[in-house]
Amino acid sequence: MKNLIFLFSLLFIVAQACAQHPNAGLILGASAGMAKVSTELTPGFKTVPNEFNHKFAPAVSLELSKLLGNHFEIGTDVNLTLLKGDTDNPQFSAEGIHGAMKDPITEPVEYNNQLFGQQLFVSYYFRTFEAYSPGYRLEPFVRTGIGYQAYTAGFKYIDAPDDELIFGKNKGNYKKYELFEAVYFVALGVKTKFSNHFFMNTTVSFNYSNYDFLDVVHNYNTDGSFADLRGLYTAFKIGFFYQSNEIDKHKSRRGQYNKPVLPFSGK
């Protein structure tokens, strides 16, 4: 909670500092889509074989942001991402090593991981905000940010009840763990404007986790040592947003206000 308060406080401090800009209105919206684990990586960014068939699962977020200058946006979000996968032919590097996997696993298994997190982000729009025109308009952008995520995860036999886990964290009999890990991301997006107040964002994000626990199974090297891996998951979302004030229509593309037209001036 203290991290959430810090992020919102930082956002509003910046917002007040830039309140004189005609684009300074707050933006609020929600996004929904799907996410899945892409791969696990070594610290040198080399991929390792996947031990599961990773599947798409829901992902949602609530976002608050603000435009800055002519190209940038700063914001924060609260997000919930579900990750899942299974395998009918389990072959895990942790078998015989990890405490929960001392016995061989031969039956089909699955994992479910619920990530709850907060992020702070910065977006860059390729067109200046003054160049926006009323009505339907596509505006591409890139976004990057950092945050943290908490895990509620379970790994079990497919036919077993949800509370009968082989291994997990903050779930079933594994409720004693406090696990918060950093996540870094970069996203490609397109804003679709419906009006000066309403728009839709379509984004694809690539999320890099500092921990090898996205699939709820730790990895080990052939010599039995712990493999210090990282996780990568991809999310696709569509969101609908409201901006609290419209872009000033009397501002020129150079960012200067046009002089008012006086009655009977002949112009």
Integer Cα distance of 243 and 207 in angstroms = 27
The parent domain of residue 120 ranges over 2-243
What does the pLDDT read at residue 102?
A: 85
- pLDDT, averaged in runs of 10, over the chain (267 residues): 54 53 76 97 89 97 89 92 96 88 91 94 86 68 93 94 90 77 95 88 96 90 88 97 68 44 45
φ, ψ dihedrals at 196, nearest 5°: -75, -10
Determine the pLDDT at residue 26: 87
In this structure, are residues 118 and 77 in contact, taking their beta carbons and an 8 Å threshold?
yes
Domain count, the chain: 1
Mapped onto helix, strand or coil, the DSSP state of residue 163 is: coil
pLDDT at residue 206 in the model: 97
Does 255 fall in a domain?
no
Which two structure tokens, joined as six digits, stand for 153?
């995860």
- Measured in residues, the chain has a length of 267
Structure tokens at 182: 């950093």
d(CA 80, CA 147): 13
Which pLDDT does position 261 carry in this prediction? 44
| CB-CB contact of 257 with 251 (8 Å) | yes
- 22 in any annotated domain: yes
* Residue 176 lies inside a defined structural domain of this protein: yes
CA distances for 263 relative to 12, 181, 251, 256, angstroms: 41, 63, 20, 22
Instruction: Give the strand pairing for 137-157 and 53-55.
Output: unpaired
Look at residue 108 and tell me if it is in a domain: yes
Residue 248 lies in a domain: no
Distance of CA 219 to the CA centre of its chain: 24
Cα–Cα distance measured from residue 63 to residue 72, given in angstroms and rounded to the nearest whole number: 16
In a domain? residue 254? no
Find the CATH number of the domain harbouring 91: 2.40.160.20
Residue 14 lies in a domain: yes
> Is-contact 31 38, C-beta < 8 A?
no
pLDDT of residue 7: 59
What was the pLDDT predicted at 231? 94
pLDDT value of residue 212: 85
Whether 267 maps to a domain, the answer reads no
130 phi and psi angles, rounded to 5 deg: -70, -20
